[in-house]
Amino acid sequence: MRFLLLIILVLGFKSYAKCQSPTGEPMAVGDSLILFTTEYKQDYRECVESIRECQSDGTLSGNPKAIYESCLNERTCEHPFFHEPLNDQQKIVAYRSPEAPCEKEVRVCDGSTGILSGSYVHMECKERTALYRPGQHSVLK
């Protein structure tokens, strides 16, 4: 009898992992999160937040579109060579080709769109150099 009562008491108090956060974390009934409807501010509007609470039926209350843990003022661009984030207005130099003629381009991150300007994709370019040998013509290398 005591054993049965103990099982009922233990099972009766389990209320964890009834919900799942948008990021996949388990949530107990009554736990709440502040989430946002977008990852980034849209057209210079404010970030819209919503309190999402785990309900006993396994659902989250609040705005179902609020699934993001943060809302950033601006986006980052991906660095084409090192795959690191570039911040708004951060610049890099890229080359059209890895060999001469070396045309370079300054690429700029647009934080409002997350798009890096330009199209050149090479990190470096090797210029041709002329070698002079006494008694011979110059040779391009």
Q: Is residue 9 part of a domain?
A: no
Are residues 88 and 132 located together in one domain of the fold?
yes
Answer with the residue of higher pLDDT: 26 or 73. 26
Q: Which two tokens stand for residue 68?
A: 């993001």
Q: Is residue 65 part of a domain?
A: yes
Answer positive or negative: Cα dihedral of 130, 131, 134, 137. negative
Model confidence band, residue 2 (pLDDT cutoffs 50, 70, 90): very low
Residue with tokens 């070698």: 131
| Of the residues 73, 96, 121, the one at which a domain ends | 73
CA separation for the pair 43, 34 (Å, rounded) = 22
| Of the residues 73, 92, 113, the one at which a domain ends | 73
Answer with the residue of higher pLDDT: 2 or 4. 2
Are residues 102 and 138 located together in one domain of the fold?
yes
Q: Which range of residues forms the domain containing residue 135?
A: 74-141
Give pTM, 2 decimals.
0.48
Are residues 100 and 86 located together in one domain of the fold?
yes
Task: Estimate to the nearest angstrom the gap between the alpha carbon of 83 and the chain centroid.
Answer: 11
What percentage of the chain exceeds 90 in pLDDT?
48
Contact 87, 76 (CB under 8 A): yes
Number of H helices, E strands in the chain: 1, 11
- The set of residues, in sequence order, having a beta carbon less than 8 Å from that of 100 and lying 6+ positions away, is 125, 126, 127, 128
Q: In which element (H, E) is residue 1 found? A: none
Give mean pLDDT, residues 104-112: 92
Whether pLDDT at 5 is above 90? no
CA separation for the pair 77, 74 (Å, rounded) = 10
Pairing between strand 26-27 and 19-20? antiparallel
Whether pLDDT at 30 is above 80? yes
Pairing between strand 49-53 and 32-36? antiparallel
